[in-house]
């Protein structure tokens, strides 16, 4: 370097003082100052010995790999087996008792839930309570119960029936067999789709001011029978049958009957208990048999559903009449009697032909007395017995007998 040049000695750069360095310097300066001696503070009192109860022993936080709190390793090799068994036995006993209590609680809750949901009435009451509509539910239940009783009373009314029987021949015998069937009230309600009879009190809603059940009032007063009541002795379990007497069983030979009236036949009868509910039901079925010698018998059966209600009063059976079917030998015998009498009628009144005899006022009476109902029936029989090869030989013999008879007798 030349001598005239200003030279400055290069020194290492001094680092800039940082705030942390300044604070350190200030703290060091303060420390070097000799402060006045401060009065010595009282020595801290010795800590009280820890209580023997380990439950009050302080727990120190010491985070480590296995947790947050300080742990103390226990060497179980130094613990007696009996003592260790006692400790674990107590813990196990307490655990089992807790589990048993929990299981019992769960079982009780499950049983209660099942009972509630299996009982419609209980489930309904719970729903009303939860929804806060208890009063509305009770009012609706009362209305429903009244409607149920009204429906049951309508269906449980006693039913009776009338029928006017006409039949031919009019001297036929009629046998009427009545079969009575007993049905329990609950079984009848099930078949009719009605609710079960309440088994508690005899009032609607169970309150003192509630309206009495229909039919729950005393059925008898001072021992007097109720009007229209059915004899309780009739309500016997099971099925029984009996024959109903009628006028045809009293007819003498040759007597006829124009019609046979059957009136007030029981069809359906009920008996109620003290609550007004139907306790017993009787249904009736009738088998009517028509028979006469020389004719095929006919049976008719009337069940509860066969009766019709046309107007007020008893129900009826729509009866168009009935004709017994004669056997072949009966047809021939009846026709032969008519032809013998017709021959005498023609002879006495000097009528030239059968057609003229049929116009006579006595001819129809002659037919009825001999088991032929109408002129049309007579002509069908006449054509069959007199104009077919099947009966030609028989008719030839009858003609000879007819001509040989003495009409004056």
Domain identity same for 364 and 250: no
Is the confidence at residue 16, as pLDDT, over 90?
no
Domain identity same for 319 and 337: no
Element of type H or E holding 146: helix 134-155
Locate 119 and state its tokens.
């009982």
**Residue 44 belongs to some domain of the structure:** no
Is the confidence at residue 316, as pLDDT, over 70?
yes
Which of the listed residues 309, 325, 341 is the one where a domain comes to its end? 325
**Residue 141 belongs to some domain of the structure:** no
> What average pLDDT does the structure give for the chain?
79
pLDDT in tens, 289-300: 999 999 999 999
Is the confidence at residue 312, as pLDDT, over 80?
yes
Locate 37 and state its tokens.
């001696």
In angstroms, the CA 9 to CA 244 distance is 157
Select from 227, 262, 230 the least CA-distant residue to 248: 262
Is the confidence at residue 199, as pLDDT, over 70?
no
**Residue 37 belongs to some domain of the structure:** no
Give the model's confidence band at 245: pLDDT under 50 very low, under 70 low, under 90 confident, else very high: very high
Under DSSP, the state recorded for 26 is: H
Range with the poorest average pLDDT among 69-78, 133-142, 230-239: 69-78
- What is the extent of the structural domain holding 382? 328-404
Domain identity same for 297 and 352: no
pLDDT at 240: 95
Kindly report the length of the chain.
Answer: 409
Domain identity same for 200 and 304: yes
pLDDT at 221: 43
Which residue has 């009957």 as its token pair?
Answer: 257
Beta-carbon contacts of 408 under 8 Å, excluding residues fewer than 6 positions away, are: none
**Residue 222 belongs to some domain of the structure:** no
Count of the separate structural domains present in the chain: 2
In angstroms, the CA 61 to CA 69 distance is 4
Beta-carbon contacts of 299 under 8 Å, excluding residues fewer than 6 positions away, are: 287, 288, 289, 290
Beta bridge partners of 238: none
pLDDT in tens, 165-187: 999 999 999 999 999 999 999 99
Average pLDDT over residues 261-288: 94
Domain identity same for 286 and 356: no
Strands 278-291 and 298-302: antiparallel
**Residue 221 belongs to some domain of the structure:** no
Select from 245, 253, 241 the least CA-distant residue to 292: 253
Domain identity same for 266 and 183: yes
In angstroms, the CA 182 to CA 188 distance is 10
Domain identity same for 267 and 164: yes
Average pLDDT over residues 269-283: 92
Is the confidence at residue 223, as pLDDT, over 80?
no
Is the confidence at residue 156, as pLDDT, over 50?
yes
Is the confidence at residue 364, as pLDDT, over 80?
yes
Do residues 334 and 181 make contact, with C-beta atoms less than 8 angstroms apart? Answer: no
pLDDT at 346: 92
Is the confidence at residue 196, as pLDDT, over 60?
yes
Average pLDDT over residues 337-366: 94
Domain identity same for 191 and 268: yes
Domain identity same for 364 and 241: no
Is the confidence at residue 51, as pLDDT, over 70?
no
Is the confidence at residue 272, as pLDDT, over 70?
yes
**Cα→Cα distances 298→191, 293, 326, Å:** 32, 12, 11
Average pLDDT over residues 87-101: 68
pLDDT at 50: 52
Which of the listed residues 283, 309, 325 is the one where a domain comes to its end? 325
**For 8, phi and psi rounded to 5 degrees?**
-115, 140
Q: How far is CA 265 from its chain centroid?
A: 30
Cα Rg, the chain, nearest whole Å: 58
Domain identity same for 168 and 257: yes
**Residue 175 belongs to some domain of the structure:** yes
Strands 325-326 and 67-69: unpaired
In the three-class reduction of DSSP (H, G, I as helix; E, B as strand; rest coil), residue 67 is classed as strand
Give the model's confidence band at 409: pLDDT under 50 very low, under 70 low, under 90 confident, else very high: low
Torsion of CA 189, 194, 195, 200, to 10 degrees: -50
- Highest mean pLDDT among 101-115, 120-134, 391-405 belongs to 391-405
In angstroms, the CA 360 to CA 353 distance is 12
Is the confidence at residue 373, as pLDDT, over 90?
yes
Strands 322-323 and 167-168: parallel
Of 55 and 333, the structure prediction assigns the larger pLDDT to: 333
Is the confidence at residue 103, as pLDDT, over 60?
yes
Do residues 244 and 178 make contact, with C-beta atoms less than 8 angstroms apart? Answer: yes
Select from 275, 243, 261, 264 the least CA-distant residue to 158: 264
Select from 359, 379, 360, 377 the least CA-distant residue to 368: 377
In the three-class reduction of DSSP (H, G, I as helix; E, B as strand; rest coil), residue 404 is classed as helix
Give the model's confidence band at 99: pLDDT under 50 very low, under 70 low, under 90 confident, else very high: confident
In angstroms, the CA 396 to CA 386 distance is 9
**Residue 95 belongs to some domain of the structure:** no
**Residue 287 belongs to some domain of the structure:** yes
Which of the listed residues 325, 357, 373 is the one where a domain comes to its end? 325
Domain identity same for 296 and 191: yes
Domain identity same for 344 and 240: no
Instruction: Classify residue 286 by burial, with Cβ atoms within 10 Å: 0-12, 13-18, 19+.
Output: buried
Beta bridge partners of 181: 239, 283
């Amino acid at each position: 370097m030349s001598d005239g040049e200003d030279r400055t000695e290069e020194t290492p750069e001094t680092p800039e003082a940082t705030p942390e360095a300044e604070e350190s310097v200030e703290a060091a300066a303060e420390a070097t100052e000799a402060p006045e001696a401060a009065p010595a503070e009282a020595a801290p009192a010795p800590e009280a010995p820890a209580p023997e109860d380990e439950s009050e022993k302080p727990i120190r936080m010491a985070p480590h790999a296995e947790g947050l709190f300080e742990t103390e390793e226990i060497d179980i090799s130094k613990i007696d087996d009996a003592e260790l068994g006692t400790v674990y036995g107590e813990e196990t006993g307490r655990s089992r008792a807790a589990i048993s209590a929990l299981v019992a609680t769960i079982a009780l809750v499950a049983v209660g839930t099942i009972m509630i949901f299996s009982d419609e009435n209980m489930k309904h009451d719970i729903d009303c309570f939860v929804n806060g509509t208890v009063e509305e539910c009770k009012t609706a239940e009362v209305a429903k119960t009244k409607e149920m009783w009204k429906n049951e009373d309508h269906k449980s009314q006693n039913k009776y029936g009338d029928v006017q029987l006409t039949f031919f021949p009019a001297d036929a015998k009629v046998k009427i067999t009545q079969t009575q069937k007993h049905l329990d009230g609950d079984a009848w309600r099930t078949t009719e789709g009605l609710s079960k009879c309440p088994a508690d009190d005899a009032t609607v809603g169970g309150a003192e001011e509630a309206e009495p059940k229909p039919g729950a009032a005393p059925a008898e007063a001072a021992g007097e029978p109720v009007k229209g009541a059915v004899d309780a002795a009739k309500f016997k379990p099971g099925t029984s049958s009996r024959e109903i007497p009628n006028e045809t069983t009293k007819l003498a030979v040759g007597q006829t009957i124009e019609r046979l009236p059957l009136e007030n036949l029981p069809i359906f009868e009920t008996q109620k208990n003290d609550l007004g509910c139907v306790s017993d039901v009787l249904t009736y079925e009738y088998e009517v048999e028509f028979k006469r010698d020389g004719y095929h018998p006919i049976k008719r059966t009337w069940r509860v559903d066969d009766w019709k209600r046309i107007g007020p009063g008893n129900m009826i059976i729509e009866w168009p009449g009935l004709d017994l079917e004669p056997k072949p030998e009966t047809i021939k015998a009846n026709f032969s009697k008519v032809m013998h009498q017709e021959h005498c009628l023609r002879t006495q009144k000097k009528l030239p032909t059968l057609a003229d005899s049929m116009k006579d006022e006595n001819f129809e009476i002659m037919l009825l007395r001999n088991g032929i109902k109408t002129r049309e029936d007579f002509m069908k029989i006449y054509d069959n017995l007199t104009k077919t090869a099947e009966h030609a030989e028989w008719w030839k013999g009858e003609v000879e007998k007819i001509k040989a008879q003495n009409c004056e007798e």
